[in-house]
Structure formats: C-alpha cells, structure tokens
Chain A
Amino acid sequence: MAVIEAIETVYLEADTAYLTFSGIPATYEHLQIRMSARTLRAHYVDNILLYLGTGGGAVDTGSNYATHLMYGETTTSTTYISSGRSGILASGAAGNSAADSAAFGPIIVDILDYANANKNTTTAASGGTNGTSSSIVTFQSGLWDNTGAVTSIQVSGASASFMRGSEFTLYGLNSS
C-alpha cells in the first residue's frame, strides 16, 4: 500500500462555482489538497473557501470556522483574522486579471488527523500567485469547531467561480 494515495482529481472543463470531494473514507491518517486555481474575479488574486462535512451529510456552512492568515503582498506584509465565520479562507488562487491571462495559483492544504473524533479539524495551507504588477504569498491556519470525521470537503471560489482549467487533487496519507 502506498503511503500517499490520490483519492480524487477534479479538472474543470467549464467555469464552476464550487466542487465537492465526498465519501472520503476514514482510512487515512492525514489529507492533503493540492490545487492550481484561477477564478473569474477581476483582480490578480482570489481567495478560496473550504467547507467541511461529517457523517456523510452536507457540508457545514454555519459560522463554525476560524481563519488566521499571514501574507506578503508585493512589498507589504500583514495578516487577515476571522473567527466565528462561515468556511475556512485560504488565498493564492489567481484572479481573472486581463494582464495575467494564463496564470493559475497553487495552493496546498494539509488536514491532519481529519478522522480523529477527539480533535477539531484544523488546516494549514500555503499558496501564492504572481501578477504583472502585484503578487502574493500566504500561510494560513484554519479551524472547524467540530470533532466529527471529515467525510466531505467543498472548495469554492471566495469571490467568483473557478475558471476552466483549474485542477484539484485530494490525497490521503497513510500512517502504516
């Protein structure tokens, strides 16, 4: 058995508001999402939102999440902080700026112990994208105040739909 297994890859053949990984088995120790994303937002960068679900049900869209993000944007470094919010926010997807027509932003999200019923679900993500006149690099933590095993993950563009050509792969990491 491979230590890292690809659970599912989604390649968007058309612009799409969101995608959902569902039926995630509890057999792995950790999850990782690797994405190359671009949205229709008329800006060089966009954020993404992660909504999590448990028990095979719908994802939780309630105000049960927190996000802490530090980022360097061109020559400025600062943070974005939000608790009691809907969805975990991560950043680094490319936006649909006319000057950067072929850029897609990479984002990697780690979800450790996603099936451990003794732990709230936490995420750690890094991402970034380079535009013609601006650029961003980010590191982010996320919290879902729920100890249920994660069985579904919805990935949404925060401001606009994902564009055709965006790609998302969910990996499972084994511990034996």
Chain B
Amino acid sequence: MAAFTVIDHTELGAAASEWTATSISSSYDHLCLKISTRSDQAAVIAGMGMLFNGATTDYSETRITASSATPASSRKTGESILRAWGNACGANALADTFAPTTVWIPNYANTANYKSFISQTSTPNNSAVDGNWYLMLGAGLWSDTSALSQIDVSMISGDDFVQYSTFTLYGVTGA
C-alpha cells in the first residue's frame, strides 16, 4: 500500500477566506499538509489561523522565529485558534510570491492522545530589511483526544487568501 495518499488538493480559483478539509478519514496514521499561500492583507507577513474539528478552545503553541538578526522563541497557551504555526505572504510582499508551509500531524486519529503537530513556514521576499521576511518553526497542541476529522485554515486578520494559493493534504500510512 502506498505510504502517501492525497486526501485533498485545492488551488484557489478566486480569493477565498478559508480552506477546509472535512470528513477526513481515520484510516491513515499521520497527516501532512503542504500550503503555498498569499493573502490580500495589507502587510508583508500575514498570519494564518488553524482549527481542528472546528473547536475554539484548548490550543497551545511554541515557536522559534526570525525576522531580524536575532531569532526568538515564544509560547502561547489557552488559545481559541492556532495562530503561531504558519504565515502567508501579504499584499506588500514581492508580487507573485507565495509562502511555503508544511505541517505534520502524527497520530491524528488516535483517541487516547491529544493532537500535536510541528510546522515550518517562511515568508520569502526580495528584501534584507528586518521585518520584511519571516522564518518560523512551530510546535502545537490541541488538548483534546477526539479523532481529527476536520481542518480549517484561514487568515487571522479575516482577510482572504488570493487566487492560486494551494493546499495539499496527504494521509500517511505505516507498514
């Protein structure tokens, strides 16, 4: 059996406020989400939000980031939405540039464990100015044992993803 299966692939044909994968089968071991996104938010760096199963409680995250010469780490707890895991390029970033993000969610269907993930995201830009680019490695937790069956990704600001943003969700199986 193939180790990777495409669960969903969406390329936005027009601006949209969110991408949602619903009714995710529990038949895989892990999930991998690869995103290439740009937002119409008037910024260079535009933060994305993520919800599991539509829940709005019990999220926490830790991240290491850089947008200047000095990397930093920070932590968020008691969050209503995951907000420290991924960024899109904003409207003020170099035209036609989309931010790549990868999220790994292991054992997403295991009902004995909380749901955790790691992410890597970057906001490329043709600038060496502090704050005009961004790198982040994130680790997140949803303190809930429910099997994960839905993922929503949106802009924290409420702005839209622009056309050509892509979302690819893979199911990953073990032997």
Contact = CB atoms under 8 A, between A and B. Distances in A.
Select the residue from A69, A120, A142 with max chain B CB neighbours within 10 A. Answer: A120
Contacts of A142: 124
Given A112-B166, A139-B135, A3 B6 contact: yes
Nearest to B89: A122
B127 A66 contact: yes
Contact of B98 (A110, A113, A145, A174): A113
Which 8 pairs of residues, A with B, have the shortest CB-CB distance? A141-B122, A3-B4, A70-B66, A175-B9, A143-B124, A112-B36, A118-B164, A112-B100
A143 B94 CA distance: 10
A84 interface: yes
B97 interface: yes
B59 to A, nearest CB: 23
Interface in B118-156: 120-128, 133-135, 137
How many chain B residues sit at the interface, stated as a range, is 35 or more
B60 interface: no
How many chain A residues sit at the interface, stated as a range, is 35 or more
Interface stretch (A47-55, A73-81, A97-105, A150-158): A73-81
Interface in A77-95: 77-79, 81-84
A29 interface: yes
7 contacts: A68-B133, A118-B96, A122-B99, A123-B124, A141-B133, A143-B126, A147-B96
A116 interface: yes
